[in-house]
Amino acid sequence: MEKIELGTTGVQVSQLGLGCMQMGTATDEATSFRMLDAFADAGGDFLDTANCYMWWGGPQYQGGESEQLLAKWLSRNGNRNRAFVATKVAGLPVNVPELHAAQEAGDDPWPHVRFEGAGADTVRRGIDGSLKRLGVDHVDLFYVHVDDRATPLEETLAALDEIVVAGKARFIGWSNVRTWRLDRVRALAAQNGWAAPVAVQQRYSYLHQHPGTDHTSSAGEEMLSYLRDHRDTSLVAYSPILANLYDSADPEKHRFWPLYGNAKALEAVHTVAKEVGATGNQVALAWLLQRRDPRAFALMGPRTWEQFETIVPAIDLRLSDEQVRHLNDSA
């Protein structure tokens, strides 16, 4: 598995990361350990979790279950030394019981979420809680999960810098953020000598989001252009296969089709997939791993062992220059 540099830190991390969101809830411990072991044995070390994973898995969950499961795996046979661990703060709702009640009533809980924010005290409590649940003395990367526009950036950045100086996190990152906000974060960090984000985690895939449907969580052309000029911040792409859209039996009914649907581009993916004997998801992931400007990390988040097995072949899948051009011209 290829490793590439995280920002300009000099630290090499597996370009393919393992999203651990569902581990400890939708994915049981035995299956989680099997995937973690296989990922590490293949040379992968980038593990991604968050303090909120995965409160929406059921009324018995409060968030932090993924971190607690990872603690068990990390403590086995020196696994901590094999892992680059990323976790997050600011994405945990403060009203989880209310959201569970909405779920049980058949209502969509997400419109009712009230996030914890990224105030200094929340950030400090967040890292301490994550370290305790993970059973480690530091994490490698600590993200602001949901950009908090109500809290002064100076307050958040100063608290994050404290965490880095204290050795509780090696690096910081930001997620679900607009390009102009990321630029402001970087500028304030530079002005004050604070730790600056070395990673920005956004949804990104081969299919482009339609104009007019831009979301804070997506990496559009503006952000890609920004990252080309600021290579000290790496793109970490989540949902790179858009919840299996590329292999959907009826893509136009897929939940992401209104945002990403492009029949011509999807046909190009399927054409290349036939040529190389792969699935559409594998081709989309291989395309992302092979892109160079800017290079990106990709997070896969399988729920089952079978899903894990179908994603892993993309690691060794190499598309020809002609195939990449065909995909780019069709997007």
Contact 15, 2 (CB under 8 A): yes
* Cα–Cα distance for residue pair 76/331, rounded to 1 Å: 44
Closest CA to 39 of 1, 4, 7, 70: 1
Q: How far is CA 155 from CA 34, 68, 71, 171, 176, in A?
A: 41, 29, 30, 17, 19
Closest CA to 136 of 73, 93, 182: 73
Sign of CA dihedral 31, 34, 37, 41: negative
* Cα–Cα distance for residue pair 215/30, rounded to 1 Å: 36
Contact 210, 45 (CB under 8 A): no
Residues 291-317 pLDDT 10s: 999 999 999 999 999 999 999 999 999
Residues 154-176 pLDDT 10s: 999 999 999 999 999 999 999 99
Please, what is the Cα angle at 50 between 48 and 55, to 5 degrees?
130
Q: What is the pLDDT of residue 109?
A: 96
Q: How far is CA 8 from CA 27, 206, 230, 240, in A?
A: 34, 25, 10, 23
Domain 3-245+289-318 has CATH 3.40.50.1240: no
Query: Which burial class, exposed, middle or buried, applies to 169 when counting CB atoms under 10 A from its CB (0-12, 13-18, 19+)?
Result: buried
Cis? peptide before 54, omega within 30° of 0:
yes
How confident is the model over 136-153, as a mean pLDDT? 98
pLDDT class for 283, splitting at 50, 70, 90? very high
Contact 296, 236 (CB under 8 A): yes
Q: How far is CA 195 from CA 118, 178, 185, 253, in A?
A: 16, 19, 10, 43
Query: What tokens appear for 227 in the block?
Result: 């990252």
DSSP assignment of 302-320, as one string? Answer: -SSHHHHHHHGGGGT----
Contact 160, 193 (CB under 8 A): no
Eight-state DSSP code of residue 209: P
Mean pLDDT rounded to a whole number for the chain? 96
Q: Is the pTM of this model over 0.75?
A: yes
Residues 205-263 pLDDT 10s: 999 999 888 788 999 999 999 999 999 999 999 999 999 999 999 999 999 999 999 99
